[in-house]
Structure 1
C-alpha cells in the first residue's frame, strides 16, 4: 500500500498478488511502473496480472449509463418515437460483429437499472438475448421473476429458447419459469390440446402477468432466425411477406405498422399472444444491426417499445427513415 516498503511476489500467494495488483492499480491510482517497483516485478508481469484479474472476473469496468442515455441520438430517438429512454453506443469504425457485441454489452449493463423488486420480466429468444444473458454480470434484484415467452425450438446457434431465460435469471438472481412446450406444433388441433393441458395452461396464464418485456425483433429476410429455428418454413415466410409482414416478434409476424398478421402459424403456436405485449410498464428492445432497422420501426409503431438499446449507426438510420 502507499507508504509501505517494497515487497516481492515471493511473499504473496498467486491469487493474492493478482488482487493486490488490481487494488493498487484501480483503487490507489498507481501506474504500472509504480506497482512493479513496489512489488519487485516487471512491468510486463503487472500487465499480465491485470489481464488475469479481468479474465477471472475480479474487475468490473462499467461506464455510467447517462453517457449513453443522454447522447444526442438517444435524446432524438425518444423525441421522435415517443420512447421513455434510449441507450446508444458508439460504433464508428466497428465491424458488424464488434458493433453487435457493443450493443449487447450496453444492454447487459443497462438492464439491471431498469428492473425493480417484484418485476416479472418476459424474455424473448434469439442470439441477441442469449449473448446478452451470457455477458451479463451477476447481480441480484429482489423478488424478480423471469418468464420464457415462447416455446422451445431448434436453433442454428447451438442454444435453446429456454437457455435465454434460464441464463438471464441466473445472472439476475431471479426465479425462472420456462415454457415446457414446443414453439410450434404440426397442426392446430394438437396445439389446442396441448394448451388445454393443466400444466401448460397455467404456464401460459403466468406469461400474461409479465410487466416488462426484453426482446430483439427479427427480420423477414430469407436467412431470418424464424426460418432457421424451424418455427416457419420458407413457404410460410413467403406467405406472410405477401400479407405485408415486415418483422417477427416472439415468433409472430407483424406488418410495417406493428399490427399482427393472422396466418397459418398462429393456431399452431405455443407462446404469449402479441396483444399481451402492448402497454406494459416497459418494452426493452435491443437492436444491434442496421439489417433490423425496418423491423425495429415496425415494433416501435406497434407500441411494443418504451426503452431501446442500439448503436449510433442504427439510431441514425432510424431517425432518417422513421
Structure 2
C-alpha cells in the first residue's frame, strides 16, 4: 500500500513508544480504523495491532467495565434482589469461561477501591487470573493484606503471589502473612499465633473493610488438597459434617456457616466470620462445582459484589437454601 514520504520519514527514527502512543490515540480517541492508522504511521496493519496491545499492557489505555450497564442484565437484577447485593456483574453468554469471569473481575475490582483502603486478598486460581488481567492503576495509600497463610504449592498461584500481584497492579503496599496456612499440630499453630509479627498482621486484618475472595471446590483433586492444606480424608470429614465449599481455606456449609473441625486449630488465616459486614465483599466465582459454596457465602452476607457467568447465575437463582 503506498504511503507518502513524510509518513515514512516520520515513522522511521522515532522511538517505538511514540508510535504506540500515537496509534492508541488515533484508534481510541480519533476512532480511526487500523488500516487508516497503518497508512498514517507507515507500518503494517499487524504492527498497529501490536502497538494497540502494547498500549493496553502498559496501562496507557484502560478498558473498564461499566457495572451499571451490565446490571441491566436480567440475571444481574435477579441476583441483586435475591441476595441483597450491591452489585452483580454477569458475564454474558452461555459459554463464558472462568478466564472470562476473571477478566471481567480484573477490570471491575479496582473501581470499588478508594485511596487509603486496607483490602484483604484470599487465594486461588481465580484470583491469580484476575490479578493478571488487571490494568495497572495507582490507588494512593492502598494496603493489600494476605488473608491466608502460605503453602507448599504445586501451582504458580499461592497466597502470597495473589496478594503481591494485586498490590503490584495497583501500586499498593503489600503485607504478606509470614506463616504456613496449616501447621502440623494445633500446639505449633497456637505458638505461632502468639508471635508479635503474626499478631501485628491480624491487627491489620482487623482494620480491613474490603476483601476479594473466591470459592474453592470439594474433592480429592481440589486445590485445597493439592496445595497440602487438607488431605482427602480431611475433605471427607468436613463433607460428612455439612461442608459444601471452601472460603479462605476454611470449609463452609450451604448457609455459609463455618464448619469447624480438626484442621481449623492448625490453620493460620482469617475465618469466614471475618468477612461478615464488610463494606465490600468482592466474590469472583463461576462453575457448577462452586454453586453450593457461592450460594452459602451470599446467604451468610459475606458478599456485596459478585462477578460470575450466566450459567452460574441461573443456577444460583434456581437454588433453594
- TM-score by length of structure 2 reads 0.90
- Write the distance in 2 (CA, Å) between the matches of 1:74 and 1:168: 26
Match 2:219 to one of 210, 216, 221? 221
- Write the distance in 1 (CA, Å) between the matches of 2:113 and 2:41: 43
Match 1:282 to one of 280, 283, 296? 280
Q: Secondary structure at the match of 1:309?
A: strand
Q: Secondary structure at the match of 1:218?
A: coil
- Write the distance in 2 (CA, Å) between the matches of 1:175 and 1:305: 24
1:248 counterpart = 2:246: yes
Q: Secondary structure at the match of 1:185?
A: coil
Report the CA distance between 1:158 and its aligned residue. 2.0
Residue 69 of structure 1 corresponds to 71
CA contact (8 A) 2:65 2:108 kept: no
* 1:137-148 paired onto structure 2 within 5 Å: 137-148=135-146
CA contact (8 A) 2:10 2:41 kept: no
- Write the distance in 2 (CA, Å) between the matches of 1:314 and 1:65: 18
Residue 8 of structure 2 corresponds to 9
* 1:1-322 paired onto structure 2 within 5 Å: 7-12=6-11, 13=14, 15=16, 16-43=18-45, 45-51=47-53, 53-54=55-56, 57-94=59-96, 99-322=97-320
Q: Secondary structure at the match of 1:146?
A: strand
Aligned length in residues = 314
Farther off after superposition, 272-281 or 185-194: 272-281
- TM-score by length of structure 1 reads 0.90
Report the CA distance between 1:273 and its aligned residue. 2.6
CA contact (8 A) 1:7 1:38 kept: no
Cα 1:35–1:158, aligned 2, differ >3 Å: closer, same or farther? closer
CA contact (8 A) 1:104 1:288 kept: no
For structure 1, the residue ranges without an aligned partner over 5 or more in a row are none
CA contact (8 A) 2:63 2:107 kept: no
Which deviations, in whole Å up to 9, do the C-alpha atoms of 1:178-203 show, x marking residues without a partner?
A: 11000111011111111111111221
Cα 1:80–1:298, aligned 2, differ >3 Å: closer, same or farther? same
- Write the distance in 2 (CA, Å) between the matches of 1:43 and 1:202: 54
- Write the distance in 1 (CA, Å) between the matches of 2:207 and 2:53: 43
Which deviations, in whole Å up to 9, do the C-alpha atoms of 1:188-226 show, x marking residues without a partner?
A: 111111111111122122222211111001121232211
- Write the distance in 2 (CA, Å) between the matches of 1:49 and 1:279: 44
Report the CA distance between 1:46 and its aligned residue. 4.0
- Write the distance in 1 (CA, Å) between the matches of 2:58 and 2:140: 26
For structure 2, the residue ranges without an aligned partner over 5 or more in a row are none
Report the CA distance between 1:228 and its aligned residue. 0.9
Report the CA distance between 1:155 and its aligned residue. 2.5
